[in-house]
Structure 1
């Protein structure tokens, strides 16, 4: 039995080498639970961790995310009233005149599947400052 040595991905070169090896393994189409399949699994995990640190995709703006969902689903402001509140409140939030309450965030998370992190993150001080104008 061959022993595969996998090292941490610390540099861009390590990252590129891991991507190349993943491509090679995918072409081999390893059998499930085989040594090559295990190598592919571990390399994929390491690549994912490296990408989360070095190529993280920021969460979208919550208003933009909601407007996108509205457009994709053909929803109107009225369709958000059960999650946000009266028509005027929905309008204030979508026009960035007011920020979400905790209950509204929980409702949008639960019913629309939006991650909590898009509402509660390091951009919140900027949002609060913009909303106080």
Structure 2
């Protein structure tokens, strides 16, 4: 298979993502060498992600923060998905928990993995003024 290598660094990971993305515009026919290369690349990316960012060890807010960074989303994008700037801010500051409806919108809109967002986590109440 052409150009396949172990993913050891962030640069290797970014290379593999770019290679996979090229297939999205023209999915390879099943059973072809291109389809096999696509499968191997996606397996390598999955293994790299599981090794470097295990979902079980990351709470939903930390996961969401990393997911946003890796996919080029900012707070304004999160506000659009969640409905308001204040709601997005409250979530990221851990003042409000993600609700099932919010998680569903993140899954549907961004393709975020639900299993990373549904775990319980600690929220902080703002100090009384």
Q: Please give the range of the TM-score, normalised by the shorter of the 2 chains.
A: 0.3 to 0.5
**Higher RCO structure (Cα 8 Å, ≥6 apart):** 2
Highest Rg: 1 or 2? 1
Task: State the TM-score, normalizing by the size of structure 2.
Answer: 0.47
